[in-house]
Amino acid sequence: MRTIFLLIFIILSSCSMRLVHMRAMQPALITVPTEVNTILLLDRSSPESKEKEIIGSILSADTPGDRNAVIAQFFSGIESQFSAVNRFQTIKATESLPGTNLSSAFPVQFAWEQVETLCDKYEADAIISLEVLSTRFLVTNGTRMTTKKVGEVNIPFPQIYAKGVATADIGVRLYDPVLQKVVDEFLFSSTRDWEVNGVTIADAVRLLIDKTEALRDVSFAAGLQYGSRLSPEPIRITREFYKKPKRNAAMERGRRQADTRLWKEAAETWENGIENSNNKTAGRLAYNVAIAYEVLGSFDLAIKWAQTSYVEFGNKKAKEYSDMLHRRLNRENILKDQLN
């Protein structure tokens, strides 16, 4: 019986709230100096010698075509991530330089004279250098028991499947010639998998994604992943605000204004309704004022009203919301630095 009452309470509580979605920007993990606007994309993952090239090809089962496709897709992923914000312009180097194709070790860093020479040649402010690259595509297959519903009965039967797993081990450095600093050095793996069923094992394997296509996909995903370290990206934030009690004129009118995106007017309506409301409703109205100011981008006022809702009227949700707003304000300040 207690569980039933709890379920009813949750349903009723959710019915008292309304959702609002906001577009925002998530700051990048790495803050690139604001002077860096054009970045050279350089492949420095070519083997240092013929012997290492042979060893690397055996370990990864790469062909030259696979490798070139992987590199191109990795850089395309970075460019795609950057294009969402237009923070950086990119240039692709026409040459490839020797480095390593081992999956766990970076080569020695570039000499700064070489970094400066490359940046001058391409009129770039910094270099993203791909310095570790190793790819694998493994296929497994087999039979497993599953069930199929026939009428009202679940009938067990063997299912034949093939599974492919593509992995790209990537190592990247970001060189800033002005600061003569490696702004970022990141070694990571990107993995994707595919699975298909077939009448026979051979049939399932035949239907599985092609190796080259799989490596292209996983490399593009790796490029997106790395690009997100350096470039802010769009996100969607969802908040809840109160829509009840409807018998409170300010709550109801402000809700209608918010529904029609009149957020400034909604904030004024909710604020004006606080004085003539009971303590609980006043806390909700103050909370809604905070939401309105966040939507409007006035984070200091949003924090002020969230604190008022909690401190003056005891609205417990407002304490958590105030903490969220402080975190968002910190992110916004970082974002300003990253976007000049």
Q: Note the pLDDT tens digit of each residue in 101-114.
A: 555 689 999 999 99
Q: Angle at Cα 205 formed by Cα 201 and Cα 208, nearest 5°?
A: 140
This prediction's pTM: 0.79
The structure tokens listed for 161 are 């499947």
Residue-level pLDDT at 306: 98
Residue-level pLDDT at 17: 93
Range of lowest pLDDT (11-20, 258-267, 284-293): 11-20
Count of Cβ atoms closer than 10 Å to residue 117 Cβ = 13
Average pLDDT over residues 137-159: 82
DSSP string of 121-173? Answer: HHT-SEEEEEEEEEEEEEEEEEEEEEEEEETTEEEEEEEEEEEEEEEEEEEEE
Over 80: is that where the pLDDT of 340 sits? no
Over 50: is that where the pLDDT of 42 sits? yes
Can you tell me whether residue 16 is helix, strand or coil? coil
* 310-314 CB contacts, 8 Å cutoff, 24+ apart: 310/283, 312/282, 312/283, 312/286, 313/279, 313/280, 313/282, 313/283, 313/286, 314/279, 314/283
Q: How confident is the model at residue 120 (pLDDT cuts 50, 70, 90)?
A: very high
Q: Compare 203 and 306 and report the one with higher pLDDT.
A: 306
Residue 206, CB-side half-sphere exposure with 13 Å CA sphere: 6
Tell me the residue type at 81.
Answer: Q
Give 259-287 pLDDT, tens digit per residue: 999 999 999 999 999 999 999 999 999 99
Count of Cβ atoms closer than 10 Å to residue 65 Cβ = 9
Length of the chain in residues, anyone?
340
Residue-level pLDDT at 62: 54
Residue-level pLDDT at 330: 96
Give 80-101 pLDDT, tens digit per residue: 999 988 889 999 999 999 876 5
Residue-level pLDDT at 49: 52
DSSP string of 180-244? Answer: TEEEEEEEEEEEEEEEEEESSHHHHHHHSPPHHHHHHHHHHHHHHHHHHHHS-EEEEEEEEEE--
Q: Compare 15 and 14 and report the one with higher pLDDT.
A: 15
Residues 6+ apart with CB under 8 A from 94: none
Kindly list the domain boundaries of the chain, sorted by start residue: 38-234, 242-338
CATH of 242-338, one of 3.40.50.360, 1.25.40.10, 3.40.50.720, 3.40.50.300: 1.25.40.10
Q: Is residue 45 within 8 Å of 99, Cβ to Cβ?
A: yes
Q: Compare 337 and 311 and report the one with higher pLDDT.
A: 311
